[in-house]
Amino acid sequence: MTTPQTFATADDFLAYLRVFYAAPASGDNPDTEMVARTQADMQALQPGAAYTPEQLNMMSVVGEQLKAEVYGSLSPEVAARVHPCIALGVLDTGEANAAIYKSSDGKYAILINTGLMQLLNKFVKIIIAWDDPRLVTYCNLTPAEDLTVAQLREYLPELV
């Protein structure tokens, strides 16, 4: 990969990498019930917010929240040094990983692939409901009200 020698900002470097590496995973359209439930969950966290199915599917909303949380935890002195040099963003490559890239002029881009975010999300949900499937409100494989402990435990190996 040949990159320009310099980037005006770390966000410019991130945008360059997104164009270079983006290879959205092909697949079915998002499950409409899942999109509606996710939209409701996001609105509960951020009243008045509205997100498109594409934003929710690409996890860009979650990525922006993660970025705000990480950047918000920095002291003002550290933030002043870090913000101009580091950009964090979500990328859809069809893989479940993350990477950090450095430009030749010292800018960093942290790319988190949507597949990794989705994998971790599903893993956490299974662990939370591990002993009590009644905690599950939606499952695309089995009606949530019919879900058993045995079925839930069978789903975990399918993730990996």
Interstrand relation of 86-91 and 108-113 (parallel, antiparallel or unpaired) = parallel
- pLDDT tens digit sequence for 27-62: 556 667 766 776 677 667 666 766 665 555 556 777
Domain ranges of the chain: 10-117, 129-160
**Which of 64, 74, 110, 118 minimizes the C-alpha distance to 94?**
118
pLDDT of residue 24 exceeding 70? no
- pLDDT tens digit sequence for 67-116: 888 888 999 999 899 889 998 888 877 788 899 999 999 999 998 888 88
- Laid out side by side, the sheet with 86-91 consists of 86-91, 108-113, 98-102
User: What is the DSSP annotation of 91-157?
Assistant: E-SSSS-EEEEE-TTS-EEEEEEHHHHHHHHHHHHHHHTSS-GGG----SSS-GGG--HHHHHHHHH
* CA 142 and chain centroid, separation: 24
Which tokens hold the place of 38?
């996710």
CA distance 41 to 61: 12
The three-state secondary structure class of 44 is helix
